[in-house]
Amino acid sequence: MSLNQYGYILPLILAFFIVVVAGFSIQGVWSFFVTERFGWGPKENGISLSFVGVMVAVVQAGVTGVLVKRLGPVKALYIGLIFNMIGLTLFAFATDGWMVYAIMVPYAFGGIAGPALQGIMSNQIPGDKQGELQGGLTSAQNLAAIIGLPMMAAIFAFFTGDKSPFYFAGAHLALGAVLVAVSIALAMRALRGYTPPSVEGQRSEEPS
């Protein structure tokens, strides 16, 4: 049997795919963006990337599990996506380099969304379908990389080039925020009526 029988799973995989695409507004384009917007060189670029890496690692290692357990996976998912969207929006309109480090804090908390979303899907799929689910998520992630990076790079190049109707170095980040908003809407629609398992191994009924 295919994952198609779980009608709510495919919309969640789509939401996951869209979030990964949105993430490429940071990955791969970051150095070009901060150089264009703030005039940063390799040293400043490296420090900023190291800082956001540390922040994400701290959230993943020390915060994600606690929040998911305390809030439940659905609330943790929405909170993570909202933080992600806020972070991308603030990055898009940041005017001074120091702002980047302040914005990295809420952006890093967006990292709780991925584990929460994958946990929700895993809890709703029988054990013999877990491999198929992980394969679907990997395929979605790979496809997002193929689409996301060149798309975000092209948008950045266009809105900082001579042919753009207006200059906006953060256009790709603003698009990323919009995509995360779309993923929130998809997740909310798919998870209407979702009830997390109350007993180990118990599967809740499918959301309607």
Of 200 and 11, more confident: 11
- Tokens (6 digits) for 147: 């689409």
**Tell me, what's the pLDDT at 202?**
42
pTM above 0.85, yes or no: yes
Task: Answer for the pair 142, 134: CB distance below 8 angstroms, yes or no.
Answer: no
pLDDT band at 200 (very low <50, low <70, confident <90, very high): very low
In a domain, residue 197? The reply is no
Q: What is the pLDDT of residue 197?
A: 60
| Nearest-angstrom CA–CA distance, 189 and 34 | 36
Q: What are phi and psi of 95, to 5 degrees?
A: -110, -15
In a domain, 198, yes or no: no
How many independent structural domains does the chain possess? Answer: 1
Q: Residue 127: is its pLDDT beyond 80? A: no
Q: Burial of 179 by CB count in 10 Å (0-12 exposed, 13-18 middle, 19+ buried)?
A: buried
Residue 56 · residue 108 · CB < 8 Å: yes
Is 157 a member of any domain? Answer: yes
In this prediction, residue 130 carries a pLDDT of: 75
Please check whether residue 202 lies inside any domain of the structure: no
Q: Which two tokens stand for residue 60?
A: 């993943």
pLDDT recorded at residue 201? 44
Tell me the pLDDT of the chain averaged across its residues: 86
Residue 104 lies in a domain: yes
Q: What is the reported pLDDT for 4? A: 56
Q: How far apart, in whole angstroms, are the C-alpha atoms of residue 27 and residue 152?
A: 9
CATH number, position 45? 1.20.1250.20
The answer to whether residue 192 scores a pLDDT higher than 80 is: yes
List % helix, strand, coil for the chain (3-state, nearest 5): 75, 0, 25
Q: Is residue 63 part of a domain?
A: yes
Q: What is the pLDDT of residues 63-112, one digit of tens each?
A: 888 888 888 889 999 999 999 999 999 999 999 999 999 999 889 999 89
Asked if residue 207 is part of any domain, the answer here is: no
Rounded to 5 degrees, φ, ψ at 28 are: 85, -25
Q: Which residues contact 16 (CB under 8 A, 6 or more apart)?
A: 114, 117, 118, 137, 140, 141, 183
171, pLDDT greater than 80? yes
SS3 202: coil
Question: Domain of 102?
Answer: 3-137+146-190
d(CA 138, CA 176): 20
Query: Which of 41-55, 96-110, 147-161, 194-208 is the least confident region?
Result: 194-208
How many CB atoms neighbour CB 17 within 10 A? Answer: 22
Q: 148-164 pLDDT, tens per residue? A: 999 999 999 999 999 99
* Measured distance CA(123)–CA(200) in Å, rounded: 10
Report if residue 185 sits inside a domain: yes
**Cα–Cα dist 78/179, whole Å:** 14
